[in-house]
C-alpha cells in the first residue's frame, strides 16, 4: 500500500521527540500509521523497522556521551530479548493489558511533569530483580509492538536506579535489542504471509534517522534534565493514549 509523503513531517517530529529521551518512537509511529489507513498487518513490522533505525543511532549518541550504566543494561537486555521474541511471535488478545499499562504510563507522565530533577542518591537493584524486570518488559514490548522503552524508563527513574540521561541510554539499547528480537519473532510467525512494506520505506527510514539523530544529540548533551523529563512526560502521555485507543 502506498504511503503519502505528508506523513514524513509528523514522523520526523515523533522521532525527534522520542529520541531526545532515549526512545525510538514506536507508539507514535503506530498512531500515525493507523491514521494513515495502513493495514494492521503492516503497521507492527513497519513500526519496528523505524524503531530499529532510530534506536541504533540513539544508542550510539547516548553511549558516546558517557551515560550508559552497563550494570543496569546487560541484565535487562539479555532477559528482555527472549521475552520480546515470544511477544512478537504470540498473537494474544491484549486489550485488557494495554489499558492497564496505559494507566501506569499516565500516572508516570503526571509524576514527571511535577518532578523535574534527578534523585539526589541512586542505588543499584539486585541482579535477579533486573533479570525479572527485563524479561517481563521484553514480553510486554513484543506483545505491544514497541521496543519497551516507554516501560523501562519510568521504572528506572521512579525506582531511583538511574539518572534521566542514564535511563535514556539504557532504554535506547534495550529498545534496539527488543525491536530486533520482536521483529524476528513477528516475521517467524508470519513467514507464510509476510506483509509487503510500503515502497516509501526508504524515505521513511531516512526521515526518522535524521530527526532522531538531532533529538538524541540534544537529549544526550545539550537539553537540561527538566526539559528532558517534560519531553518524557509527553512521550508517555502519547503512548498511554495510543494504548487506550
Q: Which three cell numbers stand for residue 57?
A: 543511532
> Is the pLDDT assigned to residue 105 strictly greater than 90?
no
pLDDT band at 145 (very low <50, low <70, confident <90, very high): low
What local confidence, expressed as pLDDT, does residue 48 receive? 83
The model's pLDDT over 68-103, given as tens digits with 9 standing for 90+, comes to 888 888 888 888 888 877 877 776 656 766 776 777
Give Cβ neighbours of residue 107 (< 8 Å, ≥ 6 apart): none
In this structure, are residues 200 and 164 in contact, taking their beta carbons and an 8 Å threshold?
A: no
User: Domain range for residue 217?
Assistant: 7-244
- The Cα–Cα gap between 25 and 21 comes to 10
What local confidence, expressed as pLDDT, does residue 210 receive? 94
Mean pLDDT of the chain: 82
Classify residue 159: in a domain, yes or no. Answer: yes
Least confident of 45-54, 179-188, 204-213, 216-225: 179-188
Classify residue 141: in a domain, yes or no. Answer: yes
- The Cα–Cα gap between 79 and 188 comes to 20
> Is the pLDDT assigned to residue 118 strictly greater than 80?
no
pTM for this structure?
A: 0.82
- At CA 168, angle to CA 57 and CA 241, rounded to 5? 100
- The Cα–Cα gap between 126 and 117 comes to 24
Classify residue 227: in a domain, yes or no. Answer: yes
Classify residue 116: in a domain, yes or no. Answer: yes
Classify residue 229: in a domain, yes or no. Answer: yes
> Is the pLDDT assigned to residue 230 strictly greater than 80?
yes
- In the block, cell 485488557 appears at 96
Q: Provide the number of structural domains found in the chain.
A: 1
Classify residue 170: in a domain, yes or no. Answer: yes
Classify residue 2: in a domain, yes or no. Answer: no
- The Cα–Cα gap between 149 and 184 comes to 18
Classify residue 1: in a domain, yes or no. Answer: no
> Is the pLDDT assigned to residue 140 strictly greater than 60?
yes
Amino acid at each position: 500500500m502506498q504511503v503519502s509523503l505528508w506523513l514524513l513531517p509528523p514522523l520526523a517530529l515523533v522521532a525527534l521527540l522520542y529520541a531526545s529521551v532515549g526512545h525510538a518512537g514506536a507508539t507514535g509511529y503506530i498512531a500515525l500509521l493507523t491514521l494513515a489507513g495502513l493495514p494492521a498487518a503492516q503497521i507492527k513490522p513497519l513500526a519496528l523497522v523505524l524503531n530499529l533505525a532510530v534506536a541504533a543511532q540513539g544508542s550510539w549518541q547516548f553511549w558516546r556521551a558517557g551515560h550508559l550504566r552497563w550494570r543496569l543494561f546487560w541484565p535487562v537486555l539479555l532477559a528482555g530479548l527472549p521475552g520480546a521474541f515470544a511477544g512478537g511471535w504470540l498473537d494474544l488478545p491484549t486489550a485488557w493489558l494495554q489499558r492497564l499499562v496505559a494507566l501506569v504510563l499516565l500516572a508516570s507522565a503526571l509524576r514527571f511533569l511535577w518532578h523535574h530533577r534527578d534523585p539526589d542518591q541512586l542505588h543499584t537493584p539486585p541482579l535477579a530483580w533486573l533479570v525479572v524486570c527485563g524479561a517481563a518488559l521484553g514480553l510486554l514490548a513484543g506483545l505491544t509492538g514497541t521496543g519497551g522503552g516507554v516501560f523501562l524508563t519510568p521504572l528506572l527513574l521512579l525506582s531511583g536506579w538511574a539518572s534521566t540521561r542514564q535511563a535514556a541510554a539504557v532504554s535506547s539499547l534495550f529498545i534496539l535489542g527488543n525491536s530486533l528480537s520482536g521483529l524476528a519473532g513477528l516475521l517467524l510467525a508470519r513467514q507464510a504471509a509476510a506483509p509487503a512494506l510500503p515502497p516509501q520505506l526508504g524515505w521513511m527510514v531516512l526521515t526518522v534517522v535524521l530527526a532522531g539523530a538531532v533529538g538524541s544529540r540534544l537529549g544526550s548533551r545539550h537539553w537540561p534534565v527538566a526539559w528532558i523529563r517534560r519531553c518524557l512526560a509527553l512521550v508517555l502521555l502519547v503512548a498511554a493514549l495510543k494504548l487506550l485507543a
